[in-house]
């Protein structure tokens, strides 16, 4: 999940979802798409990332990164 729409290389803004955070707070996603992250091994493309403008910071699943 990210709050920064500018990191998306592709985004579907028709996707809306409610997500319950670890602290119990409900936040709303206003899109889903693909982002690119530069790593030491090159650029990684991560699909199915949610756009959640109300977040304070982006959250990345370790499981998403370990599939590469």
- For residue range 25-49, list pLDDT tens digits in order: 999 999 999 999 888 989 989 999 9
Residue 68 lies in a domain: no
Residue 34 lies in a domain: yes
| pTM of the predicted protein model | 0.84
Give yes or no for residue 16 having a pLDDT over 80: yes
Q: Other C-beta atoms within 10 Å of 46: how many?
A: 19
Q: Which domain holds residue 23?
A: 5-55
Residue 30 lies in a domain: yes
Residue 43 lies in a domain: yes
- Coarse DSSP helix, strand, coil percentages of the chain, rounded to the nearest 5 percent: 10, 45, 40
The total domain count for the chain is 1
């Amino acid at each position: 999940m990210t709050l920064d729409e500018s990191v998306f290389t592709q985004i579907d803004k028709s996707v809306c979802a409610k997500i319950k955070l670890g602290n119990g707070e409900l936040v709303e996603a206003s899109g889903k798409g693909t982002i690119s992250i530069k790593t030491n091994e090159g650029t990684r493309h991560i699909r199915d990332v949610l756009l959640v403008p109300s977040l304070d910071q982006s959250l990345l699943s370790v499981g998403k990164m370990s599939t590469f």
